[in-house]
Chain A
Amino acid sequence: MSEPERRVGAGRGGDGFWAGLALPGVVWLCVFFLLPFYVILCVALGSVDPIFQTPSPEWNPLEWNTSAFEFVLDGLFTSGAAFQTVFLRTLVYVTVATALSLLIAYPVAYYVARYGGRWKGLLLVGLIAPFFISYLMRMLAWINLLQDDGWVNDVLVWIGILDAPRNWLDGRASSVILGLVYGYVPFMILPLYAFLDRIDRSLLEAARDLGASPFQAFRMVTLPLSMPAILAGIVIIALPMFGDYYTPDLLSGAPQTSLIGNQINLYIRGGQQIPVGAALVVVLMLFLTVLMGYYLYATARAQRRLGG
């Protein structure tokens, strides 16, 4: 620790000291992040105790038993099977909710970054506020509003869109997607804002000087430049949405809006077939890894194309 030798260079050398400083954190991540992944695999590829119906993990990879995976993959690739229906539904909900979020997030982030002016501070407070309000409280707010006698029905009936109050919480895709968009859109706005705020305005002025209309300048300069931020925003909100089970549980609770996260929650915490739940988690992880890989590839390509 207190080495007598002077200045091996703070940047060069002294690696042992810096590695030692990082060690507790690295050990923590190995024990509580990497190791648990191995345990998921061992549970998914293990067996179920025939008497107590409790899973017994198989620690030795040579003895792994793939029956839980076969069950999951069978369900995923048989058309009309429950797993496939749920998986496709998840894909549709996440895609629609992400697209809607982008349609909301981009204009808001763009406005605050470019035209915020002296209101910027206040606008930013409004954009940050949801970060300090628990996601579940924000869902609770919508449960209140969407009740039979809630204010959403009151307003819709008063305007005349609905003849009679409607039950919005009995398994409607629209309610779940509204919840997802409401819940996740702040996480997209902030990184978009941070990126758009940093775009060099002289690039836009150059485009205008060369005869571009403001819309053309937006389409040909700002939009391509913000592509990496758009992709990042999509990934930031799509990844947690793929694992969401609480939004459908709270805003619908019906099987016809059940997502992949609900299935995992059911199998893992419901008790009976924990290896199936673990296998579902592994399959979801693999699918998301492909998504992540595409994201990394696309950002790298976008940066190359822009010469950045």
Chain B
Amino acid sequence: MTRLRRWLANPWGRPRFLVLFTALYLVWSIVPILIAIRFSFNEGRSRSTAQGWSLRWYSGDPDLSVFHDPDLRLALFQSLRLAAIAVLVTVPLGVALAIGLTRWRGRGAGTARGISLATLVTPEIVMGTALLLVFIHLLTFIQLGIVAQAIGHITFSLVFVVIIVRGRLLAIGPEYEEAARDLGASRIQALRLALLPMLVPAIVASGIIVFAISMDDFVISNFLSSGTATDTVPVRIYATGRTAPTPALNALATVTLVITIVIALVGFLLWRGVRAARGQTGSTVGEFAALDAEAVR
């Protein structure tokens, strides 16, 4: 009783309440996903009750499984293809933009930085509408479908690369390049031999983030899709989430989840590796979380 009173008087002192709260939050956040994964292994057709275990909706069913239903399979490929294009284009474009904007002192730099940050706070439905209308009415040579979707993904993920690389650039400072220039390097050489190697961890981290947000994206992919053939996994889930007759959709979501996490994990290990090779130490998960937080801010 006294303990209860003491706890009520000061719930923040000993964080028992907070422990419980955080634990409940984590359970609430993760268990629904685990349940959705569990239903993907159902033997029956239900997506809301447990009905035995099987791989029927992954590969067993000859028509409706992820492996055999072309709509589901294509959605997975479309998601992966888009994410790959997004990473390959956005990372170099964003790294150059970040370096340029950080070192360029001209009047345009502030404006350009403002524009890139504006993409961060623009709701996706606004950007999706804007791009849809521009491709229909002005840049008509760009057709809806994978090209339009890729342009959209690159546009909204660019700022994340800029934020992450710029943060690292500000931490490095201009001294290394100046030293390289003093030693006779050209600007390009200073950039390539002194600066870029130090940016590798930030570049890898931004690649992971771009991949993850491209896989996660729904609105842009939906607005700029030209039909079922260019639907991504999230678009598929939106289109059939309420009506899908079998757990194959859960299986598709599970496969996508596993691929995303495996690729992100490989990227994370790579990032940790290059970071250690550059002699940086400290809590890697903590720093990565800070990067992530930086990116969503």
Contact = CB atoms under 8 A, between A and B. Distances in A.
Partners in one complex: yes
Interface of A: 1-3, 6-7, 9-12, 14-15, 17-26, 28-37, 39-40, 42-43, 55, 57, 104, 107-108, 110-112, 114-115, 120-121, 123-145, 147-151, 169, 182, 185-187, 190-191, 193-194, 197, 213-215, 218, 232, 235-236, 239-240, 242-246, 249-250, 253, 261, 264-265, 268-269, 274, 277-278, 281, 284-285, 288, 292
Contact of B261 (A10, A132, A169, A232): A132
Given A32-B154, A137-B253, 14 more contacts: A17-B187, A19-B104, A33-B119, A40-B133, A57-B137, A128-B292, A133-B33, A133-B257, A137-B257, A140-B36, A144-B39, A149-B46, A236-B296, A244-B125
A214 B10 contact: yes
Contact of A120 (B101, B216, B283): B283
A110 B22 CA distance: 10
B280 to A, nearest CB: 17
Given A28-B158, A29-B116, A15 B106 contact: yes
Residue of A34, A133, A145 most packed against chain B (CB within 10 A): A133
A278 B238 contact: no
A264 B125 contact: yes
11 contacts: A19-B106, A30-B115, A133-B260, A136-B253, A141-B35, A143-B242, A151-B35, A242-B123, A243-B126, A268-B129, A288-B121
B43 to A, nearest CB: 16
Interface in B27-72: 28-30, 32-33, 35-36, 39, 46-49
B35 A243 contact: no
A186 B177 contact: no
Nearest to A12: B105
B26 A136 contact: no
Contacts of B103: 10-11, 14, 18, 21
Q: How large is the interface on B (under 10, 10 to 19, 20 to 34, 35 or more residues)?
A: 35 or more
By Cβ-Cβ distance, the 3 closest A-B pairs, closest first, are: A22-B100, A25-B97, A243-B123
A277 B48 CA distance: 36
A126 B125 contact: no
Contacts of A185: 29
A141 B33 contact: yes
Contacts of B12: 214-215, 218
Contacts of A239: 121, 123
B108 interface: yes
B36 A141 contact: yes
Contacts of A149: 46, 48-49
B94 A124 contact: no
Nearest to B116: A29
A268 B128 CA distance: 10
B188 interface: yes
Given A1-B188, A33-B115, A253-B242, A40 B10 contact: no
A134 B104 contact: no
A138 to B, nearest CB: 7
Contacts of A129: 29-30
Nearest to A20: B100
Contacts of B13: 213-215
B133 A36 contact: yes
A181 B118 CA distance: 24
B48 A145 contact: yes
Interface in B111-127: 112, 115-116, 118-119, 121-127
Contacts of B162: 25
A170 to B, nearest CB: 11
B233 interface: yes
Nearest to A7: B181
Given A140-B249, A193-B289, A28 B155 contact: yes
A193 B285 CA distance: 13
Contacts of B294: 194
Given A140-B241, A147-B47, A243-B123, A126 B216 contact: no
B137 A39 contact: yes
B96 A24 contact: yes
A10 B129 contact: no
B30 A29 contact: no
B251 to A, nearest CB: 11
B97 A22 contact: yes
Contacts of B88: none
B228 interface: no
Contact of B130 (A14, A37, A134, A284): A37
Contacts of A253: 242
A9 B174 CA distance: 10
B155 A32 contact: yes
Contacts of A14: 103, 187
A124 B181 contact: no
A155 to B, nearest CB: 12
B237 A139 contact: yes
Contact of B134 (A36, A182, A186, A236): A36
Contacts of A28: 93, 154-155, 158
A22 B242 contact: no
